[in-house]
A and B are shown apart, each in its own frame.
Chain A
């Protein structure tokens, strides 16, 4: 009995008129938690009732506290007939359950009704008294903090990053129960809202328990999703990264107090399993590993793909050390070994984080992904969600083995998603294979000695590009060169990742959003036939998406993708693929070659001419893009780079659709030349079409940039104006001309027009950047395509931006030359000295960076940090707008990013996770589908803001609209929409308001200059 929940109903305002005769309302309130209900008095004849109730007290288990939402219902009293419900407010009291978050929830909440929308507001105060519970066998996990943010939250420090946590719960969907035939839509919607609220509470509690088991105290990168499986039920699942976080005492000081002993330490058994690695028959591409498995959920399962599953999951002993490189091989191996041990005993070494503490990420291998097609069946027993668990476990195993094939022991930027159509479900998982620094993953005792070393020794800005796999025994054909930054390690010619750009990465010019869009028709089919058809189509979709991405990347003159997200959506008669990523030019990777067009058919003159015309157009576009994104990397002569690595001469040619007969992904050759031009063969009209579509993507108007990562590479001086928005479009395809080409064109136009509209709408913010552009595609009906976009526009100071970029390029030039000098000046022996003193030399980079760091003045290194850090201090101090005075409703900012430009987050108040259903039977009267959805989304925003304000916050960060399911039936004048949103409620303080005490100033400055090399004290 460890908690007492106290609720006070203060007042209402703007209530709707419920009594037509008097034009007034006799309102009262029911307060329900679990099975206990309290009522206020009836406040007669008022639209602004003042109940001022006593404190309603609920004595409850903390298990219930976590699972149950507080349910407040406002009703109109009626003497003769049943009382009419005005609307409800659900309050998640979870933020009150841990000490550092909110202490009270108090404020005006919109009263929401699933049929009428918001109907007035109610003022509520909620408090919780928690008693200490020493029961070891408790089922609750109060006190575990949850963050949607996919990086270590700003005012915390990660002591240990424990790793992956996942859980799912299933239930029957109330909407599909028999009782729904006789229930009102309102009752049905409310049953659903309540159930999902309960399920997500339960899910969070269960995840919390797992975190406590791991001795963590927080979940970062918490992602919760609903699968509306229709008749087969409702699945709520969540993944996250368990961490032990330490709160930084002063919000101004970001510098971790490195030697402070962590409170919670975990003894990990030291596992001596060495590097698995180097399986030559690994998956085919450097960037993605694809598996398509289809199992109709009964017993048999057909693995359509590759050898991946043969890849032994138990690592082979004795491999991996010899091949890691000429110098420093042993160290690398040691690092591997050590990290391995930390990770190996974990079932899934996955991290949902996309941005990491400095030094965490050692190498990045590439994107790994897996998909599988399943047939849904009824969930017979809600208490045993094994089937779904098994499905996900299967996929995660595949991801894990792919990562191993890339020589990586971990997967970062990991996420999972589903697409459901009728009884077919595509499960997808993707992430970035990586080698991590063991420091954050284990026992705090090692921390002390390792810390300094590692952080000092990482080579600035290129280490993560170096290949983690064995170059002599590569899992796929790739073209390696020596790193263009440090020239010691090998790098691939392109790099695809799902993570954010590391803050210390050296980037040339600016980045940009690129998208690959694809539709494929599919015959309508039932059950297994349908699933088979889908799994047969998937490899081609992946291949084409990949080709498009590669082509567009080359067209931009860039060489790396960050934040890659590939979404495959299944509909009745088609499949859609949409990939978004932020392209950049990494200084460490080689300059991309151009694109060459080759005609295949023996040509007549006009055809030749046409080809050369196209070629010219493409070359022009590349040149234009280079100028647009300021890509002018320092010219480096071949001698410095050294002789190219000998490799089998492979024609860098894209093989198009020859592999149609086969579903073996391994046959796809996605390789491409190092310096050679990328060759596009035009052998049929289809290909011609593709080249055309390449060129139709128009760049954003001048003054606009866009990316789908947290921050835009190359822009660092954000000003304080932000505008988060959601835009939804649905188009109806005319069913007559449904061909793949027509579909592609429609889809392409839809996305391009949507982007154009955004640029137009936000033109008053120029110069500005659309950040975290998140596209979601769904196919609600046969001929409907729905695209939902959420993003944030942030203004920046153009003049400053230009300056900094320039100096930055100069610096990186300088650095390049310094590095080379350093190479000569510091003999290798230097490093061996440091070896014995540190039992676990973390990396080979250790050595080089020790050198390069000592060679480069701290100030210079700081440039990188300042550039990439979202809040370069001082940049904003003069520019942030004065706070809005005398506004009656406090402003609550919302952003999908983890930070607020020009401001510091001083406190995290708890997670916001809300689910709403809205339904109408008077669609025309509410302004049609657009009017209906527009109002609903505005209301959802309002409810999120109200909850944040009631927690005492003034912003939501890492906001995400995870689901927006829209269904309409215009003939019946009806529509329904389900929306699920989440984010972290925070308090931020404008830097201009933040009075930095003079004593704190040096610390802050020091932190800035140190952060690059992390000279810790």
Chain B
């Protein structure tokens, strides 16, 4: 006796969250059955392996049919074939577009192209995430990217509107799209200690302050591309380190303000010029695309690592950066205050986030 056909169709589509997770994780039906057995479901329910097999198959088939709709979430809401309560629809979408930290760190900042897709085998082998799941996550990134590129308005809002994500997920995707568009280097060994959350945090700050959208909300791609004019202008900041008097004055003002407040005062005093040069040079280099890509590498090399080697506590870093950027306003010879703020406010936020072990 062999089962030729075995289906279950409910008026309300049954969604088993556990099986959905296994499906998303890219397990085959037999693997999923084995995993469910291991989780002790047979003991809990008194079911047989055959029942479990049939149930898993059924759910997999349902998910397979739903997948086409999940590629354009608004379709899932308007379609008539599967009757699914709104809360479940939201869950389906959210889980389908959720990604693994390990995976996203591998592809963050990479071009979402066929070439990268070919490397998914390696990523799968490296991270232990199934190839199927890697493909889904990669395709998700690419799909979202394709839909929202060349769109007006806030990146996160666009994503939310077209994919019906939760606020959190939409912001994460905005970061992924932003990184993919600007191709920031994140894979260097130096940057391995950083989490996706760190980058997403920086991305959000940069989108808010450094993109075209920060000055003009009526342009295409406003949140995707950095404001080229702004990057050009950043060259003007060079005077802060090129002008020796200005640099000395800046240093003395900062030192005066922080004396006695900093545990690492002497180290700071000794390193001030190096640090300041580092930060200002990063800004000045941003005119070149290649240097934009290396932004995080530079920040870590020029600021995070020197401070870390001197064992600056985070509190001291914060005090220093605050003072460092505020004091510029007292430099009479410096005329680019607004530019400085636009640069430094974001950079300060990023650096504080990046500064950890």
Give A207 to B2 CA distance when docked, in angstroms.
44
Residues of chain A with a CB closer than 8 A to B39's CB:
none
Residues of chain B with a CB closer than 8 A to A934's CB:
7, 9, 58, 61-62, 65
Interface bits B70-102 vs A (CB < 8 Å: 1, else 0):
000001011111110110000000000000000
Give A733 to B1 CA distance when docked, in angstroms.
5
The number of chain B residues with a CB under 8 A from chain A is 39
Indicate whether A624 reaches chain B with its CB closer than 8 angstroms.
no
Interface bits A756-783 vs B (CB < 8 Å: 1, else 0):
1110110100000000000000000000
Q: Nearest chain A CB to B37's CB is how many angstroms away?
A: 13
CB–CB B81/A118 < 8 A = yes
CB–CB B77/A727 < 8 A = no
Indicate whether A166 reaches chain B with its CB closer than 8 angstroms.
no
CB–CB A14/B75 < 8 A = yes
Indicate whether B14 reaches chain A with its CB closer than 8 angstroms.
yes
Interface bits B1-15 vs A (CB < 8 Å: 1, else 0):
111111111111110
Q: Quick one: given A724-B10, A727-B8, A760-B47, are A732 and B1 in contact (CB under 8 Å)? A: yes
* CB proximity to B under 8 Å, residues A448-500: none
Indicate whether B64 reaches chain A with its CB closer than 8 angstroms.
yes
B48 closest partner in A (C-beta): A756
Q: Quick one: given A732-B1, A732-B4, A927-B64, are A757 and B10 in contact (CB under 8 Å)? A: no
Partner of A746, one of B1, B9, B54, B65: B1
CB–CB A933/B5 < 8 A = yes
CB–CB B2/A732 < 8 A = yes
CB–CB A889/B10 < 8 A = no
* CB proximity to B under 8 Å, residues A946-1004: 946, 966
Q: Quick one: given A725-B9, A757-B51, A941-B9, are A701 and B1 in contact (CB under 8 Å)? A: no
B14 closest partner in A (C-beta): A761
* CB proximity to B under 8 Å, residues A888-917: 888-889, 891-894
CB–CB B77/A723 < 8 A = no
Residues of chain B with a CB closer than 8 A to A892's CB:
83
Indicate whether B286 reaches chain A with its CB closer than 8 angstroms.
no
Residues of chain B with a CB closer than 8 A to A786's CB:
5
CB–CB B7/A933 < 8 A = yes
Residues of chain A with a CB closer than 8 A to B2's CB:
731-732, 734
Partner of A753, one of B10, B50, B78: B50
Interface bits B44-66 vs A (CB < 8 Å: 1, else 0):
01111011101101100110110
Q: Quick one: given A725-B10, A756-B47, A760-B55, are A935 and B65 in contact (CB under 8 Å)? A: yes
Q: Quick one: given A757-B54, A934-B65, A939-B81, are A727 and B12 in contact (CB under 8 Å)? A: no
CB–CB A929/B4 < 8 A = yes
Q: Nearest chain A CB to B261's CB is how many angstroms away?
A: 53
Residues of chain A with a CB closer than 8 A to B62's CB:
934
Interface bits A711-745 vs B (CB < 8 Å: 1, else 0):
00000000000011111111111100000000000
Indicate whether A13 reaches chain B with its CB closer than 8 angstroms.
yes
Q: Quick one: given A756-B47, A761-B14, A934-B61, are A726 and B9 in contact (CB under 8 Å)? A: yes
Give A749 to B61 CA distance when docked, in angstroms.
24
CB–CB B80/A121 < 8 A = yes
Indicate whether A1005 reaches chain B with its CB closer than 8 angstroms.
no
Give A945 to B81 CA distance when docked, in angstroms.
9
Interface bits A780-793 vs B (CB < 8 Å: 1, else 0):
00001010000000
- Summarize A's interface: helix, strand, loop or mixed: mixed
Q: Quick one: given A889-B78, A942-B80, are A757 and B8 in contact (CB under 8 Å)? A: yes
Partner of B6, one of A729, A763, A887, A966: A729
CB–CB A723/B83 < 8 A = no
Q: Quick one: given A724-B10, A760-B47, A934-B9, are A891 and B83 in contact (CB under 8 Å)? A: yes
* CB proximity to B under 8 Å, residues A916-936: 927, 929-931, 933-935
Indicate whether A886 reaches chain B with its CB closer than 8 angstroms.
yes
Give A729 to B53 CA distance when docked, in angstroms.
14
Q: Nearest chain B CB to A354's CB is how many angstroms away?
A: 22
Q: Nearest chain A CB to B189's CB is how many angstroms away?
A: 44
CB–CB A760/B5 < 8 A = no
Residues of chain A with a CB closer than 8 A to B55's CB:
757, 760-761
Interface bits A81-123 vs B (CB < 8 Å: 1, else 0):
0000000000000000000000000001010000000100100
Give A937 to B4 CA distance when docked, in angstroms.
17
Q: Nearest chain A CB to B75's CB is how many angstroms away?
A: 7
CB–CB A701/B86 < 8 A = no
Partner of B78, one of A118, A784, A888: A888
Partner of B86, one of A121, A884, A935: A884
Indicate whether A191 reaches chain B with its CB closer than 8 angstroms.
no
CB–CB B61/A729 < 8 A = no
Residues of chain A with a CB closer than 8 A to B83's CB:
889, 891-892, 941-942, 945
Residues of chain A with a CB closer than 8 A to B13's CB:
938
Give A746 to B1 CA distance when docked, in angstroms.
7
CB–CB B86/A730 < 8 A = no
CB–CB A938/B82 < 8 A = yes
B80 closest partner in A (C-beta): A942
Give A725 to B8 CA distance when docked, in angstroms.
7
Give A942 to B78 CA distance when docked, in angstroms.
12
CB–CB A756/B51 < 8 A = yes
Partner of A731, one of B3, B48, B58: B3
Q: Quick one: given A108-B80, A732-B4, are A931 and B9 in contact (CB under 8 Å)? A: no
Residues of chain B with a CB closer than 8 A to A763's CB:
45
CB–CB A749/B7 < 8 A = no
CB–CB A945/B3 < 8 A = no
A765 closest partner in B (C-beta): B14
A721 closest partner in B (C-beta): B12
Residues of chain B with a CB closer than 8 A to A761's CB:
8, 14, 55, 58
Q: Quick one: given A757-B55, A929-B4, are A725 and B11 in contact (CB under 8 Å)? A: yes
Residue picked from A110, A731, A934, A937, most chain B C-beta under 10 Å: A934
Q: Quick one: given A753-B50, A930-B61, A938-B82, are A723 and B7 in contact (CB under 8 Å)? A: no
Residues of chain B with a CB closer than 8 A to A941's CB:
9, 11, 81, 83
Residues of chain B with a CB closer than 8 A to A724's CB:
10-11
Give A935 to B58 CA distance when docked, in angstroms.
11
Partner of A966, one of B5, B10, B48: B5
* CB proximity to B under 8 Å, residues A253-268: none
Residues of chain B with a CB closer than 8 A to A729's CB:
3, 5-7
CB–CB B1/A930 < 8 A = no
Residues of chain A with a CB closer than 8 A to B57's CB:
930
Q: Nearest chain A CB to B43's CB is how many angstroms away?
A: 13
Provide a sorted-by-A list of 18 A–B residue pairs whose CB atoms are within 8 angstroms: A14-B79, A110-B80, A701-B45, A723-B10, A723-B12, A724-B10, A724-B11, A728-B7, A730-B6, A756-B47, A756-B48, A757-B51, A758-B8, A888-B77, A889-B80, A934-B7, A934-B61, A937-B7
A-B pairs, top 7 by smallest CB distance, nearest first, are: A730-B5, A725-B10, A730-B4, A724-B11, A937-B9, A894-B11, A934-B7
Question: Given contacts A110-B80, A937-B9, could you give 10 more A-B pairs where the C-beta distance is less than 8 Å?
Answer: A14-B78, A118-B80, A723-B10, A729-B7, A733-B1, A756-B47, A887-B77, A889-B77, A929-B4, A934-B58
Interface of B with A (CB < 8 Å)?
1-14, 45-48, 50-52, 54-55, 57-58, 61-62, 64-65, 75, 77-83, 85-86
Interface of A with B (CB < 8 Å)?
13-14, 108, 110, 118, 121, 701, 723-734, 746, 749-750, 753, 756-758, 760-761, 763, 784, 786, 884-889, 891-894, 927, 929-931, 933-935, 937-939, 941-942, 945-946, 966
